[in-house]
Amino acid sequence: MIFVPWATIMLASYIQSIPIATAGPLLPPIGFLFLLAWRLLRPGVLPIWSGIIFGMWDDLFSGQPFGSAILLFSAAMLAIELIEMRFPWRGFAQDWLIAAAIAVIYILVATLVSGSRLSMPLFAAIVPQLLLSIIAYPFIAFIVSRLDKLRGMRFRTIA
């Protein structure tokens, strides 16, 4: 029951390392989006400290300096926890807005941590990745909801 969220986030972070030939960054941070989806859709499934573990795992495959994903995943988990305490009655539109804002901040900060200066040409190069991250969240949230439903059915048959 607990294995499904952890495995999907780790598998999604690993998928990020599959080589795709593009002129610039195009693939959204899939592992990070799965982390956001699990945390926003099922708040009690992942503990706050899990951002450290997932960040370390993501740093192994992302190509970013080691520690950048640890910091960003942990900061995202803390930010979502603060939002959860303040607005516990959110709907999907608010979750999508929260995920979009956190994903955009994640990509921009990851770009800066990698040693790049955020100039206009670089910003123009990462805009497709930003847009795909925002667009991909509902699909990832759908996958997470189906996995959670499957996880719940599995638990009911065992109990």
The pLDDT of residue 25 is 76
Per-residue pLDDT of the chain in tens (159 residues, 90 and over written 9): 678 889 999 999 998 887 777 767 778 899 999 999 999 998 888 999 999 999 999 999 888 889 999 999 999 999 999 998 888 788 899 999 999 999 999 999 999 998 888 889 888 889 999 999 999 999 999 999 999 888 777 555 554
CA 11/CA 6 separation, integer angstroms: 9
CB-based contact 8:34 (threshold 8 Å): yes
The pLDDT of residue 3 is 86
The pLDDT of residue 155 is 53
CA 128/CA 134 separation, integer angstroms: 10
The pLDDT of residue 89 is 83
CA 59/CA 31 separation, integer angstroms: 11
CA 76/CA 34 separation, integer angstroms: 12
